Every structure is written in structure tokens, then in C-alpha cells.
Amino acid sequence: MSAPLPPRGRGSRLNPDNRYSDWQREGFDDGWQDATEDEAPAPATQLLVERSRSLISRNTSPDVPFSQSINPYKGCEHGCAYCFARPGHAYLGLSPGLDFETRIVWKPDAPEVLRRELASPRYRCQPIALGINTDGWQPVERRLRLTRSLLEILCETRHPVSIVTKSALVERDLDLLADMARDTLVNVMFSITTLDPGLARKLEPRAASPARRLAAMARLHEAGVPVGVLFAPLIPAINDHELERVLEAARQAGATQAGYVLLRLPHELKQLFGDWLDSHFPDRSAHVLSLLRQLRGGALNDSQFGRRMRGQGVLADLYSQRLKRICTRLGMNQKRLALNTSAFRPPRPRGAETLQMPLF
């Protein structure tokens, strides 16, 4: 009997206890499940409020191209089976499985906190990466408009920002993005893992289709916004054969930058992605994990800087060479865009625009 699929519109069928729980539950087949039963309804999304003491996160990781980031949300409705951010839900006492997709934490006071942090005399302007851990333009953003509010502040203060998204909703904010692009304050990278709509529905059930992402990329490009593509994650024996095709399609849509990230499986993600493979690709599940171990020094995950994004060994070298060759042929990655930090001006205090400022 084939394994049951995840609930419609969700990426995981599991909701394991997080690694910090005092006890762990383990599922087993009691013989009562009927394969002919109707599919269980998809669990609804719940919004949880978190108050922010600070908003800008900082890192010194040598293999990521930013030192500051903002994440308006924790958890993501896109339901990507592979998302490296899933284990972060454990810090909230929630499961990295279905909880990650259905219990979304948002920060309604985030704009106020961002304004305060940017106004601090100690703040020094450096590009901010927006929505890196989870997508800032995920479905709930359509009604909450939290990312939009943060982007408005960055635009007002002429603060540089880099964006990674797999959502076409970013088109909604084209007015702000085009304005910032005129001062070299923004670049947008679209994450595209496949051009196959069937595989995309399995990998990223609530994300925009690959064709829709490419259309959004083209529209931003036409408006003068620098765009690029991330083939992330690269999954051996699942989508690795599409690397060249995805970059070619992105180049036609205006992308000038390209990169890839090898699948990462930290903490609970090993179990969750393994179960996803058993659900959708039982014929090659063991093969995929075997290839990943070859790329990860015998393990399913490697957190070492310099290796965690690309892997190691002959197969990792092959992927790297393929990227270089296709980028050379397409004329991509020829020049890295340096975002402008000189235009930044701290935000005005609330109500300052109504006051008569002294002339000297």
C-alpha cells in the first residue's frame, strides 16, 4: 500500500514533537486506517502574535551575503517540504511539521520597532535582507501587509534591502521597489526549484507556480528592478537535472545573477523530508538520501561554513562546474550589484512632520 499523501495544500503529513519537548510521541499503524477513506481536510492557518523587542538580526556567517536581516513572520504557508527554517518552530514549542505551515507567528509592532532601531544614533547603515528565514510575501501577507509596511519604511529612509521570495505577490510592491531601484537600493532574487508544475505542487504546495514567478521576475525587470534566480534547494535525483533549464528561463525573464543551494536537512527536517520522499517518490527515496550522504561527508546534514551550502566531493564539484558553465554561457554573474548605503537618512520621529523645525 502506498503511503498517504499530505493534506491538500500542505507540504508535510507529519507533526512531530519538537526536539525540546520533555517526551516524544511515535506513530504506528494500528490497522484501522482505510486506504479508501476520503482525504482528511487540510488544517486551517492560525495566526499567533509576537511582540518584538528588536527586529534586525545580525550574523557573521562567512557564507551568506548579508550581515543584517529582518523576518516579519515565523512559519510559512508555502509548505515547502525542504525548508531549512522548519526546525526554528521548535523554539516556539511548536512542531516543525504541520505546525510550521499552519501556525504562523507575525509581529504587528514590527514597523514601529524597525523605525526605532533605524533612528538610533548607534545605527550604521548596511543592507538588510528581508524575509530570508521565511518568505515575507507568503499568502498571509496579502491581508496583513506587514512586509509592505516594513518596505515602506526602508523606502522612506532610503535604506538598501535585498529580497528573496518565491511569491508573485512581490509585484504588489512594485511602486516601492522601482522607486528604490532608481537609487540602487534593492535587488530581488526569486527562488525557483523547478519548471515542472507537477513537481512544484509537491515541493511547494502553496507557492506561486514557476511560470508565475518568472512572469513576476520579468515585470520587475521591465520596471528597472535588478532581479536574479536562486535554484534552491538543489535536490539530487529530484530536480538537479533542471539547473540549466531554470537558469535559462530566468535569464529570459531578466535575471542577471544566479546561484544554488544544496538541500540542507538540519534537526527534525531529516525525518520530515524523508517522509516526504516516501510519500511522493518511494521508488527513489533511498537513492536520494544516499546521494545526499555522498555530498555531506556521510551524513544527511553538514553545518560547517563553506560546505553547508554546496556540499563536498566529486558530485559537489560537478554541480559547481555546471553553474559556472551555464552562467558563462548566459552572461550571468558577471558583476555583483553593490547596494547603495550613502543615501540612508534616519526616520523622523512620529509627528515631526507637523512641527516647525528650527532654522539653525
Mean pLDDT for the chain overall: 89
Peptide bond into 266 cis (omega under 30): no
pLDDT computed for residue 10 by the predictor: 83
pLDDT computed for residue 256 by the predictor: 97
Strand 103-106 relative to strand 73-74: parallel, antiparallel, unpaired? antiparallel
pLDDT computed for residue 59 by the predictor: 85
pLDDT computed for residue 36 by the predictor: 44
Evaluate if residue 140 carries a pLDDT over 50: yes
pLDDT computed for residue 1 by the predictor: 41
Evaluate if residue 29 carries a pLDDT over 80: no
Provide the grid cell at 52. 518584538
Assess if residue 127 is contained within a domain. yes
Q: What is the CATH number of the domain that holds 153?
A: 3.20.20.70
Assess if residue 14 is contained within a domain. no
* pLDDT tens, position by position, 71-97: 999 999 999 989 999 999 988 999 999
Assess if residue 204 is contained within a domain. yes
pLDDT computed for residue 64 by the predictor: 79
* pLDDT tens, position by position, 202-244: 999 999 999 999 999 999 999 999 999 999 999 999 999 999 9
* pLDDT band, residue 292 (cuts 50/70/90): very high
Amino acid of residue 123: Y
* pLDDT band, residue 25 (cuts 50/70/90): low
Distance CA 262, CA 308 (A): 8
Assess if residue 1 is contained within a domain. no
Q: What angle do CA 148, 233, 291 make, to 5 degrees?
A: 165
Q: Supply the range of the domain harboring residue 230.
A: 46-333
| Buried b or exposed e, range 204-234, using 16+ CB within 10 angstroms | bbbbbebebbbebbbbbbebebbbbbbbbbb
pLDDT computed for residue 20 by the predictor: 59
Contact 150, 176 (CB under 8 A): no
Assess if residue 354 is contained within a domain. no
Amino acid of residue 16: P
pLDDT computed for residue 27 by the predictor: 56
Helices marked H in the chain — which ranges?
98-102, 110-119, 141-144, 146-156, 174-181, 197-203, 210-222, 243-252, 269-280, 285-295, 314-330
Evaluate if residue 126 carries a pLDDT over 90: yes
- Give the distance from CA 292 to its chain's centroid: 21
Distance CA 161, CA 154 (A): 8
Contact 163, 186 (CB under 8 A): yes
pLDDT computed for residue 121 by the predictor: 94
Evaluate if residue 133 carries a pLDDT over 50: yes
Give CA separation, 74 vs 87, 94, 197, 255, in Å.
Answer: 11, 11, 26, 28
Task: State the total domains in the chain.
Answer: 1
DSSP letter for 232, please. E
Evaluate if residue 181 carries a pLDDT over 80: yes
Amino acid of residue 271: Q
Q: 47: which residues sit within 8 A by CB, 6+ positions away?
A: 104, 105, 106, 140, 144
Amino acid of residue 262: L
pLDDT computed for residue 306 by the predictor: 78
Assess if residue 173 is contained within a domain. yes
Distance CA 216, CA 82 (A): 23
Assess if residue 25 is contained within a domain. no
Assess if residue 152 is contained within a domain. yes
pLDDT computed for residue 260 by the predictor: 96
Q: For residue 213, which of 175, 250, 267 has the smallest C-alpha distance?
A: 250
* pLDDT band, residue 12 (cuts 50/70/90): confident
Evaluate if residue 52 carries a pLDDT over 90: no
Contact 110, 72 (CB under 8 A): yes
* pLDDT band, residue 322 (cuts 50/70/90): very high
Provide the grid cell at 243. 539547473
Q: 318: which residues sit within 8 A by CB, 6+ positions away?
A: none
pLDDT computed for residue 356 by the predictor: 47
